Structure 1
Amino acid sequence: MTSQAGVGFMTGSGVFRLATAVAALCVSSPVMAQDRPWPHAPIHGGADVAGTSLSIDDLYQPKSLIGTSPEGYSWSRDGSTVLFLWNDEGASFRDVWSYSPRTGKKVRLTFLGRDSKPEAEQKGIAQAVALGNGRVAFTMGGALHIVSADGAIAKVETDKQAIRKLIVSPDGRRLAFIAGNTADSRNRVTLGGVLWVRDVAATADKAATRVAGNDDPKIYIDDYHWSADGKAIAFQQSDDSAMPERDIYYYAKGGLQNNRVIRAFPGEETSKASVGLVDLASGKTQMFERPDPKHHIWGFGLSSDGKRMFVSGSDMQAKEHTIYVYDVASGARETFYQLREPKHLRPDWQVAWAPGDDGLIILTDRDGWLHLYHQRAAGEKPRQITSGEWEIAEFDVDQARGQIYFIANKSYLSDRQIYRVPVAGGAVQQVSGQAAGTHEPVYSPDFRHIADWYSNDATPAELYLIDTAKPAKVAQVTKSPQPGFYKQTWANIGYVEFPSHVDGMNLVARLSLPANYDPARKYPVIVGSVYSDAVRNQWGGRRAHPTWGLDQYFVAQGYIVLNVNVRGSWGQGRDHNQTQLHSYGETDINDLESGVRFLVEKGYADPRRVGLWGSSYGGLMTIMSLSKKPGVYAAGIAGAPATNVWHAYPAQMWIMGPHEGPDMPARYEAQSALYQAKGIEDPLMIIHGTRDPVVLYSDTIALAEGMIDREQMFELVTLPGGNHAWASDNLRQARFAFKKMAEFFDRNVKNRK
Structure 2
Amino acid sequence: MRFRFFALAALLAAHGPALVPGFTTTPLRAQQKLPLTLEDIWAKPTFRSASVPGFNWMNDGRYYSALEAGNLVQHEVTTGKAVQTLVAASALQVPGGRSLDVDGYSFNANEQKVLFTTATEPIYRRSARASYYVFDRSSQKLTQLSAGGKQGYATFSPDGQRVAFTRDNNVFVTDLATMKETAVTTDGVPNKLINGSADWVYEEEFGFAQGFFWSPDSKRLAYYTFDESQVPEYDMQQWGELYPKEYRFKYPKAGEKNSVVSVSTYEVATARTVKMEVGPEPDQYIPRVMWTQQPNILSIQRLNRLQNKLEILHADAATGKTQVVVTDTNPAYVEINDDLQYLAGGKQFIFTSEKDGYQHLYLHEMNGKLVRQVTKGNWEISAINGFDPKSGYVYYTSTEGSPLQRHLYRINLQGTDKKCISEAGNGTDVVNMSPDTKYFLNVHSSAGVPAVTSLREGSTGKLVKTLEDNAKLRQTLAQYNLGKLEFFTFKTSEGVELNAWMIKPSNFDPAKKYPVLMHVYGGPSFGTTSTQTVLDNAGGGTALTNYLWHQLLAEKGYLVVSVENRGTSGRGSAFRKATYANLGKLETIDQGEGAKYLATLPYVDKSRIGIWGWSYGGYMTSLAMTKNADLFKMGIAVAPVTNWRYYDTVYTERYLKTPQQNPAGYDENSPVQFARNLKGKLLLVHGTGDDNVHFQNSIAFVNALINANKDFQTLYYPNRNHAIAGGNTRLHLYRQMTNFVLENL
- Structure 2 distance, partners of 1:403, 1:81, is 22
The Cα shift of 1:639 comes to: 0.8
Task: Give the 3 Å change call, closer, same or farther, for CA 659–453 of structure 1 in structure 2.
Answer: same
The Cα shift of 1:69 comes to: 4.2
Q: Is the contact made by 1:685 and 1:717 (CA closer than 8 Å) also made in structure 2?
A: yes
The Cα shift of 1:481 comes to: 7.3
The Cα shift of 1:101 comes to: 0.6
Which residue in the other structure is 1:680 paired with?
A: 678
Task: Give the 3 Å change call, closer, same or farther, for CA 486–625 of structure 1 in structure 2.
Answer: closer
Alignment of 1:205-224 (within 5 A): 206=179, 210-211=183-184, 214-217=187-190, 218-221=193-196, 222-224=210-212
Which residue in the other structure is 1:298 paired with?
A: 287
The Cα shift of 1:684 comes to: 0.4
Alignment of 1:329-728 (within 5 A): 329-344=318-333, 346-348=335-337, 350-376=339-365, 378=367, 380-381=369-370, 383-395=372-384, 396-461=386-451, 463-478=453-468, 485-489=476-480, 490-501=482-493, 503-532=494-523, 533=531, 534-541=533-540, 547-603=546-602, 605-651=604-650, 652-661=652-661, 664=663, 666-726=664-724
Answer 1 or 2: higher relative contact order, Cα 8 Å, separation at least 6: 1
SS for the counterpart of 1:389 is coil
The Cα shift of 1:241 comes to: 2.8
- Partner letter of residue 59 of structure 1? I
Which residue in the other structure is 1:742 paired with?
A: 738
- Structure 2 distance, partners of 1:338, 1:51, is 60
Q: Is the contact made by 1:417 and 1:432 (CA closer than 8 Å) also made in structure 2?
A: yes
Task: Give the 3 Å change call, closer, same or farther, for CA 379–136 of structure 1 in structure 2.
Answer: closer
Q: Is the contact made by 1:47 and 1:516 (CA closer than 8 Å) also made in structure 2?
A: no
SS for the counterpart of 1:721 is coil
- Partner letter of residue 448 of structure 2? A
Deviations 1:229-284, CA, capped at 9 Å, x for gaps: 44434444433232122212253366523232221112221123333333334343
Which residue in the other structure is 2:203 paired with?
A: none
The Cα shift of 1:148 comes to: 8.2
Task: Give the 3 Å change call, closer, same or farther, for CA 486–746 of structure 1 in structure 2.
Answer: closer
Q: Is the contact made by 2:520 and 2:621 (CA closer than 8 Å) also made in structure 1?
A: no
2:106 is the alignment partner of 1:129: yes
- Partner letter of residue 137 of structure 1? F
Alignment of 1:188-227 (within 5 A): 192=169, 194-197=171-174, 199=176, 206=179, 210-211=183-184, 214-217=187-190, 218-221=193-196, 222-227=210-215
SS for the counterpart of 2:590 is helix
TM normalised by structure 2 equals 0.83
- Structure 2 distance, partners of 1:318, 1:43, is 48
Deviates more, 1:466-475 or 1:626-635: 466-475
Q: Is the contact made by 1:232 and 1:278 (CA closer than 8 Å) also made in structure 2?
A: yes
Taking only the aligned residue pairs, the percentage that are identical comes to 23
Aligned-pair Cα RMSD in Å: 3.7
Task: Give the 3 Å change call, closer, same or farther, for CA 362–608 of structure 1 in structure 2.
Answer: same
Deviates more, 1:373-382 or 1:400-409: 373-382
- Partner letter of residue 66 of structure 1? R
Alignment of 1:133-282 (within 5 A): 137-141=116-120, 142-145=130-133, 156-157=144-145, 159=147, 161=149, 163-165=151-153, 167-171=155-159, 173-174=160-161, 176=163, 178-179=165-166, 181-182=167-168, 192=169, 194-197=171-174, 199=176, 206=179, 210-211=183-184, 214-217=187-190, 218-221=193-196, 222-252=210-240, 255-282=243-270
Deviations 1:530-554, CA, capped at 9 Å, x for gaps: 2432233333345779534423322
Q: Is the contact made by 2:286 and 2:300 (CA closer than 8 Å) also made in structure 1?
A: yes
Q: Is the contact made by 1:139 and 1:164 (CA closer than 8 Å) also made in structure 2?
A: no
Task: Give the 3 Å change call, closer, same or farther, for CA 336–494 of structure 1 in structure 2.
Answer: farther
Task: Give the 3 Å change call, closer, same or farther, for CA 15–443 of structure 1 in structure 2.
Answer: closer
The Cα shift of 1:96 comes to: 7.1
Deviations 1:505-559, CA, capped at 9 Å, x for gaps: 2222243333444444443222114243223333334577953442332233232
The Cα shift of 1:618 comes to: 1.3
Q: Is the contact made by 1:613 and 1:636 (CA closer than 8 Å) also made in structure 2?
A: yes
Q: Is the contact made by 2:609 and 2:634 (CA closer than 8 Å) also made in structure 1?
A: yes
Task: Give the 3 Å change call, closer, same or farther, for CA 592–98 of structure 1 in structure 2.
Answer: farther
Deviates more, 1:695-704 or 1:78-87: 78-87
- Structure 1 distance, partners of 2:729, 2:543, is 17
Give the aligned length: 692
TM normalised by structure 1 equals 0.82
The Cα shift of 1:345 comes to: 6.3
The Cα shift of 1:358 comes to: 2.6
The Cα shift of 1:308 comes to: 2.4
Deviations 1:555-609, CA, capped at 9 Å, x for gaps: 3323232223222222111110111112222111122223333333344532222
Deviations 1:163-205, CA, capped at 9 Å, x for gaps: 444545545x2564533x23xxxxxxxxx36354564xx7xx9
Task: Give the 3 Å change call, closer, same or farther, for CA 353–193 of structure 1 in structure 2.
Answer: same
Task: Give the 3 Å change call, closer, same or farther, for CA 51–700 of structure 1 in structure 2.
Answer: farther
Counterpart among 24, 28, 37 of residue 55 in structure 1: 37
Gaps of at least 5 residues in structure 1 are 35-41, 88-93, 113-122, 183-191
SS for the counterpart of 1:252 is coil
SS for the counterpart of 1:471 is coil
- Structure 2 distance, partners of 1:341, 1:680, is 38
